[in-house]
Amino acid sequence: MSVNGDFFRFADNELKPVDIALADPLSVADSWFVTNGSARALQRHFKRFSNSITDQDTKEQLPGFFEQIVKVMPRTGDWFPRIEYRAERPVGERLFLRLRPAPERTETCTLWSYDKEDPRQMPAIKGPDLSACQRLRRAANLHGADEAVLLDSDGYISDGALSAIVWWQGDTLCAPDDQTPWLPSITRELVFAIADQAGYQTATVKQRPQELHNHEIWSLSSLQGIRGVTAWNEVEVGELRLLKPFRKRLKMLLEPLA
């Protein structure tokens, strides 16, 4: 397996190995964490991917594509597969699977606010801006942080480069509101559902980082699940009092691949 994982093209109802780098832009992508043959909300990932594709010829291929993906997923070890749609490829050859070992996972992380204009062109679709978001995360790394946070033009929290940012106001779990550009996050949906089931309030609000002093703050992603934030620029982050029980509840949502 290469550093970036094994690469497959879906054609004629089969996943076929590809051993060349593709110059075509990434139109849509999705990824999820697999551990010992179990994944979290896999059908939601498939649905988000499908909903972002308008090409009818490709949409007709998707059921067979998803079936083959489940079939080839390893049943042992930790993996972080990515599915891709490349609209500029020939009809019938636009779907790809990148089967990658899972990167390191941690319980906590640090954040860095990106202080320039949001570079994303299509923030509601995962894929087109993936390279830009990866560059933002590398910029955060150069500033000694694990993740970059994007702010809107008024300084309100929009999104993490490759994660969703949420925080607690007392016993209310909060996230950016629907007027803020953020990528629909499956992990955010699951964590909000867990909060509702546990009797906590949830809310979507507009908030600036400097207004979150002493708040518990989390970074959410399909790979990492929930990570507690331990530092964020000049923000004095709060105690991670709810992190462990929520991480435990989220882990319980892992289901064996069909």
Per-residue model confidence (pLDDT) at position 3: 39
Domain boundaries, the chain: 6-99, 108-256
Which residues make Cβ contacts (< 8 Å) with residue 236, sequence separation at least 6? 213, 214
Q: List pLDDT tens digits, range 53-88.
A: 999 999 999 999 999 999 999 999 999 999 999 999
State the Cα–Cα distance between residues 11 and 122, nearest whole angstrom.
28
Instruction: Provide the pLDDT confidence category of residue 4 given band limits of 50, 70 and 90.
Output: low
pLDDT of 210 above 90: yes
Q: List pLDDT tens digits, range 81-124.
A: 999 999 999 999 999 999 999 999 999 999 999 989 999 999 99
State the Cα–Cα distance between residues 69 and 2, nearest whole angstrom.
19
Per-residue model confidence (pLDDT) at position 183: 87
Instruction: Provide the pLDDT confidence category of residue 180 given band limits of 50, 70 and 90.
Output: confident
Predicted TM-score (pTM) of the model is 0.95
Judged on CB neighbours under 10 Å (0-12, 13-18, 19+), 83 is buried
Mean of the pLDDT values across residues 205-233? 97
Per-residue model confidence (pLDDT) at position 68: 97
Which among 188, 171, 193, 185 is positioned nearest to 242, based on CA atoms? 171
Query: Which residues face 85 on adjacent strands?
Result: 28, 95
CATH class of 108-256: alpha beta
Which among 103, 40, 102, 97 is positioned nearest to 72, based on CA atoms? 97
- Angstrom CA distances, 235 to 138, 203, 212, stand at 21, 21, 7
Instruction: Provide the pLDDT confidence category of residue 182 given band limits of 50, 70 and 90.
Output: confident
CATH class of 6-99: alpha beta
